[in-house]
Structure 1
Amino acid sequence: MKITLLGTGDAIGTPKIGCSCPTCLDAIAGGKSRRLRFSVLIESESGKVLIDTSPDLRWQLLKKGISRIDGVIWTHAHYDHYAGFGDFHRIQNGVNVYGLKNTLDYVLNYLYFMKPVRHDVIIYEPFSLIGLNFTLLEVTHPPLEESAAVLITDGSKKVVITGDTSKNIPEKTLKAMFEPDLLIADAIIPPRAIIAKHMNSKEAMELGRELNARNVILTHLSHKFPPHNESIKEWPLGYDGMEFEY
């Protein structure tokens, strides 16, 4: 199993339009502060799956040399997590898409013209794709009524992607997440502030300790962090193109 962080940015990405903060300037100069919007690529010997389809998906796929995928899993119905699916127009027809019912209802109302093959997923019920086991887990991302984390297992290896969530995660989900080899955690801002629908970096690291995660990487990051090479002295920030293999 190979995991690639295609995009580690929040909804607006970094650099932010019109911003000249140190982080955005580092991003403009080509540093690791440059962050496309959130997507994760999961690969096995049997195929490729995308977790969410960033508005920046076209460039992400071109950078990776990818022209076909075997499935898309949507975690929730926010623009920055599904809008890039349209980049498969005239590239690949009949893409298999997976998600919770309300998420798919909303997303496919917008992307109906792509004629994807819909697969409704039941929360906490595993399903197989490209030889790996996936499970969608309930998290909280107000004001949405429905948002999911993704649990991926391959034999004894376990990867958790929290998706967009506050620290208020149901106990059943925490038990399912426990002791991952890799926790890819939503952490939109440094700990000096709190956003009700996301974790900050302090909360995400606390979650990693609670779950006894072997490795924690923070993602869905805003330009509010210091430039990447400064931030990683304190927090394990992910960066676009970062890869893990298990």
Structure 2
Amino acid sequence: MKITFLGTGTSQGIPVIGSKHPVCLSKNYKDKRLRSSILIEKNQKFFLIDCGPDFRYQMIRNNYEKLDAIFITHEHQDHIGGLDDIRPINNMNQLTIPIYGLHRAIENLKKRFFHLFSKNKKPNTSKISVHELDNYNKFFFVENSKIIPLFIWHGDLPILGFRIENFAYITDASSIPIQTIEKLKGINILVLNILRKVVKNSFPFLLSETLNVIQKIRPKKTYLTHISHTFGFHEKIETQLPKNVHLAYDQLIIHE
């Protein structure tokens, strides 16, 4: 299984427009982050987790041109804003792309991308099918791959992470229920969000809290994503992490 980090930044990306913060001015390519998203290639099938506003550029710069499924963690703009840009992928491959997410997230998609769901939509409109995942206790199969939805909290908003075999992806979490932690036991690779070192709101994990969750799950390796410019320089933070924990960066490729 090949995993490509399409983006590893927060909702503003890095650099932030107009910011003079040292990280935003960094020349290191690892400090330049598009909105968080990941692409998984397994048995020549391509699974996208989140389709943010940078999706078009992310696919082009990584030379990807096919999707077999899209998994949505939640309906915030930085996670769904690029949905219209799947149209050329539809046209090229002549496939309807299934989208999986919570009922609330799917209903949000229907409102914000109403033209994709219209009975009278134009022939060149993106072709999608939607599948609701509100039963957190059930796994399902997509293209012969077992997918386990993971219930997590983003502030007071219930959202999803996903486990595929021994790989799991969680972003925007503020807390992870014990039942979900149990579902993550035995994984080899965990991708988990981190925002900043100091608390500015109730949503982000602190670094210490993140490391505590990792200790409970005990994956072989963890990659941190959804990173703010206020968290610091990539190279400096990387030296402060445990040996099995790393900062992800855009276009990083790993294998499970």
Letter in 1 for 2:250: D
Letter in 2 for 1:110: R
Paired-residue identity, %: 28
**Cα distance between partner residues in 2 of 1:162 and 1:124:** 17
Which structure has the larger Rg? 2
Aligned counterpart in structure 1 of residue 142 of structure 2, from 116, 126, 129: 129
Give the alignment's TM-score, normalised by structure 1.
Answer: 0.91
CA RMSD of aligned residues (A): 1.6
Instruction: Give matches, 1:1-246, under 5 Å.
Output: 1-26=1-26, 29=27, 31-92=29-90, 94-114=96-116, 115-121=127-133, 122-144=135-157, 146-153=158-165, 158-166=166-174, 168-190=175-197, 192-193=198-199, 195-235=201-241, 236-246=246-256
**Cα distance between partner residues in 2 of 1:233 and 1:108:** 44
**Cα distance between partner residues in 1 of 2:43 and 2:3:** 13
Bigger shift: residues 203-212 or 122-131 = 122-131
- Cα offset, 1:194, TM superposition: 5.3
**Cα distance between partner residues in 1 of 2:217 and 2:201:** 22
Bigger shift: residues 105-114 or 204-213 = 105-114
Q: Which runs of 5+ in 2 are unaligned?
A: 117-126
- Cα offset, 1:90, TM superposition: 4.2
**Cα distance between partner residues in 2 of 1:24 and 1:76:** 27
**DSSP 3-state at the match of 1:3:** strand
**Cα distance between partner residues in 1 of 2:38 and 2:106:** 18
Note the alpha carbon deviations across 1:90-132, whole angstroms, 9 max, x for none. Answer: 4416321011111111123212323421111232311112332
Give the alignment's TM-score, normalised by structure 2.
Answer: 0.87
Note the alpha carbon deviations across 1:125-178, whole angstroms, 9 max, x for none. Answer: 11112332111111111242x20111111xxxx111122211x32121111012
